Amino acid sequence: MEFWKDYNGLGSEIEYVKNIIKENLSDSPLYMKDIINHILEAKGKFIRAALVIESASLGKSDFKRVAEIAAAIEILHLATLIHDDIIDEAIMRRGTESIQHRYGKDKAVVCGDYLFAKSFSLLSSDYQEHMKYLSKGVEKICLGEIYQQTNRFNTQLTVRQYLRTISGKTAALFAMCLYAGGLEAKLKKAQLKNLIRCGYAMGMSFQIIDDCLDYNGTDLTIGKSAKKDLLQGYYTLPLIYAIDNDQNEVLSEKLELLAEESFELDKIIQLVNQLDGVVKSKAVAEKYINRADKYLMLVDDKENIIKLRKLMQFLLKRNY
């Protein structure tokens, strides 16, 4: 898989997880086949599966079980992406046309529900101990999503409110992935607790970095995604910090005019950078990276956490 090609050792495991997903979805009836095939052809990064696999390596675990749990979590994640695309009216997802754009919003709603159910079916056969926190996790994801919608176009959005949104949107599932692996590795309660905290901090920094990348105007696609977020009123950390520094209200004025003068978008992105929005956000991401590392050290000895730490560095030290 492209994303993992320079990463030593996870490619085949993730390929295995992908095959479980394929098997589980390929028993769908004929009239669902087209949608399912479309989903399976997309290029997911399978980051959540990687998190489950590497945290399971903290102890003795049964890889077949770990891979099935990872598959269930990836199917769950996929369901949330399909529903997110309905809300965002996204045209593309994972390098291919989004379900909502290709098959319509109606089918996308039901297709997401179907994948939710598939994921829970998979878990309920042999992994019932995982169901409880994962269904709680989906609750958190939904709450994060609704919170985000409630705050659209809110130029008064605080850092605290932003962090609350991404806590549900991204960090909750990251934490749960590590917990899932840790549970399979039969870790002790105290270890699991620190693993959850580590995953949470990882998720927070991962999302902040993602939101910073949006304001790195160099890449065309990346620029596009920031613009889409802005037009839909999703204000992320770089923008919030920039508004804080916006003494002369140049940025605020531009934001107010956003709906009418969309050609000012480039200017907004430029201003966010000039007003130190990205620099300050990076500092917060760094804080979470350090926190994640601190908790990871509390989980186990240095030699044991080596794989998970390597994965963490790979995911968080992206060029930003």
Residues that bind its own copies (CB under 8 A): 28-29, 31-32, 79-80, 83, 86-87, 105-107, 109-114, 116-118, 120-121, 124-125, 128, 131-132, 135-136, 138-139, 141-143, 145-147, 149-150
Cα separation, 85 vs 27, whole angstroms: 25
Amino acid (1-letter code) at residue 84: D
C-alpha dihedral, 181 to 184 to 187 to 193, nearest 10°: 40
All residues at 6 or more sequence positions from 234 whose CB lies less than 8 Å from its CB, including other chains: 148, 152
Query: Shortest distance, CB of residue 83 to its own copies, whole angstroms?
Result: 5
Query: Shortest distance, CB of residue 202 to its own copies, whole angstroms?
Result: 22
Query: Shortest distance, CB of residue 107 to its own copies, whole angstroms?
Result: 6
Tell me whether residue 80 or residue 170 sits nearer to its own copies (CB atom): 80
**Cα dist from 102 to 51, 89, 158, whole Å:** 31, 11, 36
Lookup: tokens for 224: 């596009």
Query: Shortest distance, CB of residue 215 to its own copies, whole angstroms?
Result: 24
Instruction: Yes or no: say if 108 and 93 are a contact pair by the CB < 8 Å rule.
Output: no
Lookup: tokens for 175: 């934490």
Backbone angles phi, psi at 97, to 5 degrees: -60, 140
Query: Shortest distance, CB of residue 291 to its own copies, whole angstroms?
Result: 24
Amino acid (1-letter code) at residue 275: L
